[in-house]
Amino acid sequence: MLMEHTMNMPPTCNTALLAWIDEAVTLCTPDRVHWCDGSDAEYQRLCDELVAHGTFTRLDPARRPNSFLARSHASDVARVEDRTFMCAQSRAEAGPTNNWADPREMKATLRGLFKGCMRGRTMYIIPFSMGPLDSPIAKIGIEITDSAYVVVNMRIMTCMGRAVLDKLGAQGTFIPCLHSVGAPLQPGQPDVPWPCEPDPQKKYIVHFPDEPSIWSYGSGYGGNALLGKKCLALRIASVVARKEGWMAEHMLILCLTSPQGTKHYICAAFPSACGKTNLAMMQPTLPGWKVTCIGDDIAWMRIGADGRLYAVNPETGFFGVAPGTSQQSNPHAMASCTRNSIFTNVALTPDGDVWWEDMGVPAPASAIDWEGKPWTPDCGRKAAHPNARFTAPAKQCPVIDPDWQNPAGVPISAILFGGRRPGTIPLVAEAFSWEHGVFMGSSAGSETTAAALGQAGILRRDPFAMLPFCGYHMGDYFAHWLSMAQRTERAKLPRVFFVNWFRKNAEGKWLWPGYGDNSRVLKWICERVDGGGKAVTTPIGNVPAPNALDVTGLQISAAALQELCSVDRERWLKEADDIAAYYATFDTHLPAALRTQLEDLRTRLAAK
C-alpha cells in the first residue's frame, strides 16, 4: 500500500500485525509512523521532544537524575469508569457491574471518532509484553498511540520494544490496543502540552473481549491510556484467564522472610486507598523479618506442575499515587522514584524538584502547582492533584525480590482480602475453606468516612477489589474462583485471610498502628500456613488466640488487642443481611456455593 506519511521500516514480517497497522493508518491518517524499538536512545529522544514541546519539565539532574514532571489537562486526571465499556456479545455476559454497549454499534461509533484523529501527529507503534517475555503466561500486546507521553510511560511499566517483535515472529498472536488522545491538528494549528478530548462524554475506554481488542479515545492519563495495565492485564486478561483456567487479579505480591530464612509468598487484594503499594514493599518492625516486593498492583496466577498456585507480576514498573507517599508511609517507594522516573500532576519546587501533600517534608515556601499556577502553602489549594502519580521502574525498588521476574512465578502460600472497615471486621480472620475464602473475597468492601465523603459508614462493596476491573459477569467470576478447587488438590491451594488495618474504637481512634507493624499479622498468617499459630474459632473465621500475635516492642493495650479481634454478633447479622442484598444483584449468576456460605454464616452466628 502507498502511504503518504513517513514511516521507519517495519521491523516485523508478522502479516496480521502489518495488516492491522495498515488499517489503523488508513483510519487515523497520522503524519508520521514510528515503530518503537524500546531502546534507551529512543526513550531519551522522546523525553527531549516532550521537554521541547512543553509536556515535560526536566527535574534538576543533581536532585532527581533523568526524571521529568508532566502536567495533564485539568479534565484528564483519572480513570473514567463511567466511560469504560465491556462490549461482550450480550449485556448479560458483561453483567451488572460493567457498562455494556453492543459491539457492532460501538465499533461504528469508534470508527467515526478515530477517523482522521491522528492528523498532524505521529503514530507510535509500541510492542509490549505483559509478563516476562520467556514466561508461558506472558501476553503480547501492540499499542498504537499518538502520545509520546504514553510511549515513555509504557517503557517503564512494561517489557517493551524490539525483543517483543522478535518473540512475536511471523505468526504469533497479539492483542491490538488502539489509543488516541483525540486531538487532531489542522495544518498550522499550534499544539498544546497535554492534548486530549476535553468533553467527558466523548472519552471512550472500550474493550471487545471476544476479539480481544482495546480501543481508547480522548484521554492521555494513566489507566485510560497505558493500555497494558488495567485494560489488558485486568479486564481483557480476566476474560482470557477464565477461558484458559488461570486468574488475573488486582493484587500485590510480596515475600515475607523469617529470621530463620523461611520464605512465604503472599498476594493481597485491597480496593484503592487501602495501602496496597505500602504493604507490597513494607519495612517490618519485627526484628529480623524481611519483606521483598514482587509486584504492587496486578497478579497473574496459575496452577503449576506441582499443583500449587504460582503468581507473576505482569508489570515492570510502579504507577503509584504520590500524595501520602513519604519516608514514614513507604520509604521504599520514595527510594524507587529518586531517578529515571516520571511524575504527573505533582508540584514543582523552586529548586527543580517535586513535592506533594503528605510527602513528609516541609512544604516549599512557594511552588508551581499541578495546574502550572504559582502556589504558596497558605493559598488554600492543594499543590498536587490527589491522583498525582509517579511512574518508577520496579527494579529500582530497594526491596525488589530476586524472583520478581521469574518466568515461572512464585508459589503463593496465602491470599489476603482487605478493606477500610472502621467496625465489624477483625484485624485478621482465616477462612475455614477455599469456598469460605471466596465468600470473603466476594463480600469485600470499604467503608467511607465522614472526612472523605460526608457520609459516614457507607459501605461500598468491591468484590476481590475487582469492581472496576472484572471484564465479565461478576457472578461468573465468583464461579471461576470457586472452580480453582477442582483444578488441584485443596491442600495445595493458598490459605485465605481477611485483614483490616482500619478498625476503630468507640472514640473513633485507630486501634492498630498499621504500616510496618502489619508484619506482625503477616507473621501469624505464615504460622497458620505452617500449621502453628494459635487461633480461636469464631462464627466468621479463625482469629488469633490471645497472645498469638507477636506484639513484642509494640505499645498496645490488652483491651485494644481484644477489641481488634472481637466479633460482634449483632453487627455481623447486619453484615450478613447487607451481603444478601448485594448478592441479589447477581441474580441467577450467583453460585449456589456462595448462597450456602452465607446461610452457614447465619447459622453459626445464631448458634449459642
CB 497 within 8 A of CB 430: yes
Q: Which of ligand OXD, Mn ion, none interacts with 473 (beta carbon under 5 to 8 A by kind)?
A: none
Interface residues with ligand OXD (CB under 6 A) are 79, 223, 272, 297, 319
For 352, other C-beta atoms within 10 Å of its C-beta total 16
Please state the closest distance from residue 248 (CB atom) to ligand OXD, in A.
14
Nearest distance in Å: CB 271, ligand OXD: 8
Which C-beta is closer to Mn ion: that of 24 or that of 80? 80
Cell of 482: 470457586
Q: Which residues sit opposite 390 in a β-bridge?
A: 320, 343
Choose the catalytic residue: 87, 267, 274, 470.
274
| Residue 498 interacting partner from ligand OXD, Mn ion, none (CB closer than 5 to 8 Å by kind) | none
Which residues lie across from 6 on neighbouring strands? 32
Cα(110)–Cα(569) distance, integer angstroms: 52
**Candidate list 297, 462, 527, 563; residue touching Mn ion; CB under 5 A:** 297
223 binds, among Mn ion, ligand OXD, none (CB under 5 to 8 A by kind): ligand OXD
Residue with cell 467527558: 200
Q: How far is CA 114 from the centre of its chain?
A: 27
Quick one: what does residue 563 bind among ligand OXD, Mn ion, none, with the CB cut-off 5 to 8 Å set by partner type?
none
Closest residue by Cα to residue 540 from 408, 425, 397, 416: 425
Site string for Mn ion, 308-337 (x = CB under 5 A): ------------------------------
518, 282 contact by CB (below 8 A): yes
Query: Is 274 in the active site?
Result: yes
Q: Which helix (H) or strand (E) holds 478?
A: helix 474-483
Residue whose entry in the numeric block shows the C-alpha cell 455476559: 93
**Residue recorded with cell 494459635:** 534
Among the candidate windows 207-215, 292-300, 311-319, 343-351, which touches Mn ion by CB under 5 A?
292-300
Using CB under 5 A as the binding rule, whether residue 249 contacts Mn ion is answered as no
351 and 79 Cβ atoms separated by less than 8 Å: no
Residue nearest to ligand OXD (CB): 297
Q: Which residue is nearest to Mn ion (CB)?
A: 297
**308 or 389, CB closer to ligand OXD?**
389
Closest contact distance (angstroms) between CB of 250 and ligand OXD is 7
Q: Which is nearer to Mn ion, 123 or 416 (CB)?
A: 416
- The Cα–Cα gap between 342 and 344 comes to 7
**Number of neighbouring beta carbons within 10 Å of residue 251:** 29
Q: Minimum Å distance from CB 287 to Mn ion? A: 32
Residues in the chain: 608
- Min dist CB 49 to Mn ion, Å, is 29
- Minimum CB–partner distance for residue 293 and ligand OXD (Å): 15
Nearer to ligand OXD, 311 or 594 (CB): 311
Is the Cα torsion angle 487, 491, 494, 499 positive or negative in sign? positive
Which positions are catalytic?
A: 274
Binding site for Mn ion (CB under 5 A): 297
